[in-house]
Structures are given as structure tokens and as C-alpha cells.
Chains A and B, each alone.
Chain A
Amino acid sequence: MKAYNKEILQDAAHRLLFDMSNDEYDTLVNEFDIIIKQMNVIGSNSSIDNYEPMIFPFECNTTFLREDIAAEPLTREEALRNANHKAGGQIKLPKVVQ
């Protein structure tokens, strides 16, 4: 399995338009190491082929539903801050449909 290093994580973060501190990258790299080792252990065990994969790590049903109360939205400036091209308060993209 592909190793995750700081450069890969940094690249991913920058593509998503955010950044982290060096300590945070180190923590994340260590966590990926552990996850990948665990995946390798699971992957090397052939006796699991007949088991349905779980979606959640344990039975974790909830009854929580959010009350339908609207909150203050982002300002338009905040919402469009990361957009490179704007027009009339909207995000402008090259047309990709005919």
C-alpha cells in the first residue's frame, strides 16, 4: 500500500485550499502509518473473505435529528473567497456542457 508522507498530505490540503502546522502534518503521517499497518494485517488474513464489510466500527444507532432552525449564513464574500473567478456574485466556470 502506498505510504503517506508529509508532501502528499500537504499537496492534498493545498488542493482543498487549506494548510496545517508541521506538528499537525506529523501527527497525521503517524496516524496514516498505523492505519496502513492495520489494513495490511486485515488484508493478509484470507479467512475474512466471506464476511460482509461493516460500515461503522460498531452498532451506533442514534435518535438525533437537528431542529429545523436556520442560522446566520456565510456572507457572500466569505462563501466566494476561495473562488478564482466570479461574476455577479456567482462563481464563474468554463462551460462544460453543450
Chain B
Amino acid sequence: MSTVTVEASHLTRIYGGREAVSDVSFNLNKGEVLGFLGPNGAGKSTTMKMITGNLAPSAGSIKICGIDMIENPKEAKALIGYLPETPPLYRELTVDEYLAVAARLHGVKGAQVKKSIERAKERCGLTEMSKRLIENLSKGYQQRVGIAQAIIHNPMVVILDEPTVGLDPIQIRDIRALIKELGGEHSVILSTHILPEVEMVCDHVQIIHLGKLVFSGGIDVLKQQRRGNRLLVGLNNPPAAEALLAIEGVAAVEQVSPGLLRVRYNEGQSPAEALVHAAVSNGWGLHQINHDQTSLEDVFVQLTYQEAAEQAS
């Protein structure tokens, strides 16, 4: 019994001669949450459409729990719950009616339909909206209905394309908690622009740029990338740069703003303690010392840029 739920190998999709996605391969295990990152038009949605069988790949194959999506689409699709970019909602139906349609279409048997609707509504916080027309719900609630629709048949793999778009901060928190919870028993693939979200909910991250996978690995690797060897030091009476460079381990000093310096140090030689000592004894007026973390955005830009630079050379 293998635990691999999604197996994509060498996925390629050509749109009018241009490769929208080229040679993307990855595996996803049961219970993992995979984050899909990438700038607009990078091929995230195209990849997701291919995994869910909405789009036929030009080359490559997709296996869901060992079932080939191209050869046995029905069996494979039964294992997937999918929320596309725009939630596919029938606005003229009520939440209950819509979810009943979704459950039946996904092969939930008659007696189970009611139960699965209740469960999905509860998980997505929709219990009070049962009898409301989807048309009259706010964008955030519509998004929730979209998620409820994707998990109604308790699929092995849940694929969410930008699930937190248009939600308010509290709803975003709820949805993230829900995604984490789903990750326990299902596999989740989610795409997003919001980088901290990835850090919060995902176990694995893939960054896709211009249709190519530029980064694939655990979230820890990405976190490590953020830690540069830099300190942010706030001094009220900053001394000359030479005085700072004299401290052991300090490699470079640059001024960020008056009274705020960025100190680079050599790998493994954090000068934090020495700096504090020096500041106290020389009366530099230390008021802040901190790790200067690269924002996730910067790492993202770095990774996507790197690839572009490599291609150019």
C-alpha cells in the first residue's frame, strides 16, 4: 500500500506553440499539504487543471492514487475535490441544494447525501447559510461554498486554486485552519499568491515560473533561505563604520536609515554579543538589535529571478 496520492510526471502543456507548463514532475504523499507558488501566468492554474482532468496534457502523465487520469478519468476524478479559481456555483440554487447536487454528481449514495452535506457545511462554517440562495451570499461565503463543494465527497486529494482570495482576515484564518485540518487525512494542493500563507499551512512548496518548476522542497528549506547572515542594529549615536568593522565577525556595514545599520557577518560568527558589549561600553546608544530576515517575497523574487538569469546566460 503506497501512500503516494498524486504522481505527476513530465507534465507539459502547449498553448499555440508556447509552453505554458513544461516538464513539471512531482509526487505528493498522503497527509501532506503542497503549496503552489508563482507569479501571475506562471502556469499554476494550468497545472491544476491538468491534475484534475479539466485539461489534457500535451505530454506526461498524472496518476491519482495509482489510477491514470488519462486512461481512467472517471475513477481518478472520483478521488479528487477541486475548487477552481472562480468557484463554480449555480447561483440560482440554495446552499443545501447546490451541495446536494455536488454530492450526487460525485457519487455519494442517496442516504449519505444529507450527512455529507451537514459535515461539509460544518467544516466550512456554512451551517447558518443552508437555506440562502448562493446569489445572495457575500464573496467570502461563496468561496466557502466552493470549498465545501470540493470536500463534500471526502476525496483523497483536495485541490484548491487560490482559496483565500476575497476573504476577510478572520475567514482567512478559518480557512487556513481548515486546510491544515484537511491535510491530516487528505492530501491538499493549494495555489496562492500570499506567501506567508504558504509558510503557515504547507509542508511542501513548489515555485513555478514561466511554466517551469524553479523550486521544490520542504518548507524548512525555504525558511532557511530567508535567514541571511545579517543583523539590523539601531544606534542613537552611531560611530564610524571602521569601529564596527573592528568587531570580530563583522564583514560589512551599511546604513539603512539614520540610526539604523545593517551589519553583515561571516557565516557562523554572529557578532551580536560583541556588538552589544561594544555599544554599551562606548555609549553608542543601542536601542534595537535584530535578525534581518529576508522577506519571503525576496526569496521568491530571488528564486524566480535566478532562473531567468540562468536562462539568459
Whether chain B is bound by chain A comes out as: no
